[in-house]
Every structure is written in structure tokens, then in C-alpha cells.
Amino acid sequence: MPPRITALFTVAAFVLFTASCSMWPTREIRTETDYPSQNRRVLTVVKTNGEVVEFSKQDPGLVLGDEIRGTARVLVNEKTEIEGPFPLVKRRADGTIAEVTDAKGQVHFVRTVLREEPDLLVVQERYSARLPIAIPLSEVRLVTYKKTNAVLTVAAVAIVGALGLFALAIYSIAHE
């Protein structure tokens, strides 16, 4: 077959397989039988305490043993001492400090101010970070995981195969 037709079928096959072979269903965890199987890729976890843990599709969590492990984006709350002078202090509408730039130029997002002095701020800081995490399966209420859809995969293979045979037949008839 000519390269253009081959390229067309390669792109069509890639699109079909990408769209049909895998999906990300959500499952409610009630008993141990509901746990996702080993080495299953995990996108989102809702823990029994209501906390939501999100992984990326490029770097999903993984079910290993009785835990889900991976690098997740989490909100971090930590007590921080910031040394002045403070070249820039942004305040909220109610007058409380929202953001502080320290003497080194680093910006701190302030949740609450715990202590305020002329050249020192002790704050509760809140920021988003990607951190390694391990979640016991016993603490999971909902999980979004990657699943291969066998029926759609077989259908995609059959469609691409049929189209390939059809194109080959048309090509051979046209070049007789």
C-alpha cells in the first residue's frame, strides 16, 4: 500500500485504541472485595475522612500490597517563620495578611498569622505541592482507577482490520 494510506490507517488505529481501550471508572469501596486489584493505576482517591487525593494521568498512583502509593498533589498547611524586612505585604479585604514577600524574595501564601513582629512573622502557610503519599486501602471510600475495556478493544481491532482489508481490496482492484 502507498505510504499515505498506511499512515492514515496507523493514525486511525491509534485514535481508536486510545479512545476505546482504557477508561477511568469510579468505584465505591465498601468491603475488601471492592479493593482495586494489584498494580492497578489510580487517578483519584476519596478517603473515609472526606479528603480527596489526586494523582495525574501521566503519573498515576499504583495499588501495591494494601496501599495506594504515588506522587499526589496535596494542600500543605505548615507553620512557617518568615524573617523580614518585608518588601511586599498583600492584605485581604478584611485587613488580614494574604501574601508576604520575605527579604530573600520568596512569596509566602498566608492562611493565618500566628504572631506578628516588626521583622518576624509566624504564619500558618497553605500551598499546593506534589508529595509522595501512601494511602492504606482501609481508608479509601471511593477510587477512580484505570480499566481496560475488552469489548471496545476487540471492536476497535475488528473495525481497523476491516477498514484495512477494504482499503487493500480497493487498492488491488484499482491497480490491476
Residues 101-136: pLDDT tens digits? 988 888 888 888 899 888 888 999 888 888 899 999
Alpha-carbon torsion angle 87, 91, 97, 98, nearest 10: -100
Say what the pLDDT of residue 9 is: 67
Q: Is the pLDDT reported for residue 46 higher than 90?
A: yes
Report the alpha-carbon angle 78-82-84, nearest 5: 170
User: When comparing pLDDT for 19 and 43, which is higher?
Assistant: 43
| pLDDT given for residue 20 in this prediction | 59
pTM: 0.55
Q: Residue 64 pLDDT > 70, yes or no?
A: yes
List of residues 6+ apart from 42 with CB closer than 8 A: 36, 55, 60, 61, 62, 63, 68, 70, 143, 144, 145, 146
Q: Quick one: pLDDT at residue 2?
A: 67
